[in-house]
Amino acid sequence: MLAAADAAMRASASASAPDLAQAMRAARLAAAAGTVPRGDASARSLAARTLIDLGPRPRAARVAAQRLATLKTDASVAFGGFSGSAADLASLAATNGGASLPPSDAEFGFVSVPLGLLYERGGAPIEALRDCRGQVLRCGDLLFLSGEEDLACLDTQSRDPESAQLWRVETPRPVDRLPRIGQISADGKRLAVYDRNAMRLLDTASGRLLGVHSFDWLGARGWIAAAGEDDWLAIAGANGTIAGIRLSDGARLWEVGVRDAFFDKLAASAGILLASDKRRTTDLLLDLRSGRVLGDGPMSEKGSETALSPDGWALVLDTNGTVSVHDAWAPRGAGARTASLGGQDWRLLGLGPGFAAFVARDGSGPVRVLDFSDFDRAV
């Protein structure tokens, strides 16, 4: 497989313009070679991927070389015209690469254009725009990039780096240098990009600015937590206030305040907003569109976790391993069901429609999956 990857890599570089299809094939073959449990297969696979990435993705090459160094192998490397030790390769990658890629690089597996375009366009640092959950923001095949003083949109299925960038607009980053957050409207026509003190509304297809809406009413600190879904956004201020914003025009539609609260975590799904107080004295369930309070009061003790599933189930995981689930639209406590995961120190791993997954906080043991429709069913 490494020999085939080597041939594909050489073929990708033999023409006047890089053959991206051959380069991608080389990368897949090199990765597959690392799954073979034989000798230094993992090290040689990492070395091959490092060399493949040196041209189009120097930062990715540097990360692969760093992983290669942790293997502490004495294997020699002969691939793509390079011949030497793993240490030599790590040194070569270090001199050719810039800052390390973010750990979520694997999320960009759907992109056809070279990833170097994401991180080195114009020689300036650039990141993928993410949503409130920290996920890479996408609209179909479109990917949005956030630079120091601009936003750009890429067609991820384009194989031509020159035409992959559909638009680029200047949007100066705020002084605090905090990351921007993005949200796509329900119809996919509007892109909302917000920082601590303002929200910009752009046309998704062209990047045309549709409006700028200030959050100055939150004070100098701006919002401390945000969550959105479709055409609705909720933001929490440092004064215990939560406000609902309509994406189409930036209008503030509702406001709820809780004295002495500090809502540092917001989650939105199925038209419901879960606001969790940092001090764990008050958790609120709200109608995201109207701000109507669906339930309030202590949902959990300090140190436990609260979460909201994509289909509107409110979940509480207590420190003793007890899970409580209830319909977020129902009155607090109505129809709530509980299950015990055992005395182990569990943490919530993920939520899906009708399911929740848990794992031990230290990472040991199996993953436990809870079926909301049948707590007794072993999954």
What is the CB neighbour count within 10 angstroms for residue 206?
A: 11
User: Which pLDDT value is given to residue 13?
Assistant: 62
131-172 pLDDT, tens digit each: 888 888 888 888 898 877 788 898 887 777 667 888 989 887
What is the average per-residue pLDDT within 30-50? 67
| Joined tokens for residue 184 | 């796509």
Query: d(Cα 377, Cα 379) in Å, to the nearest integer?
Result: 6
Per-residue pLDDT tens digits for 178-215: 678 899 988 889 999 988 778 899 999 999 999 998 88
The residue length of the chain stands at 379
Higher pLDDT, 59 or 124: 59
- Own/partner contacts of 167-176, CB < 8 Å, gap of 24 or more, are 167/206, 167/207, 168/207, 169/202, 169/207, 169/209, 171/200, 173/148, 173/149, 174/198
| Arch. (CATH architecture) of 107-214 | Beta Barrel (2.40)
pLDDT digits (tens, 9 = 90+) for 289-298: 999 888 765 5
Q: What is the pTM of this model?
A: 0.64
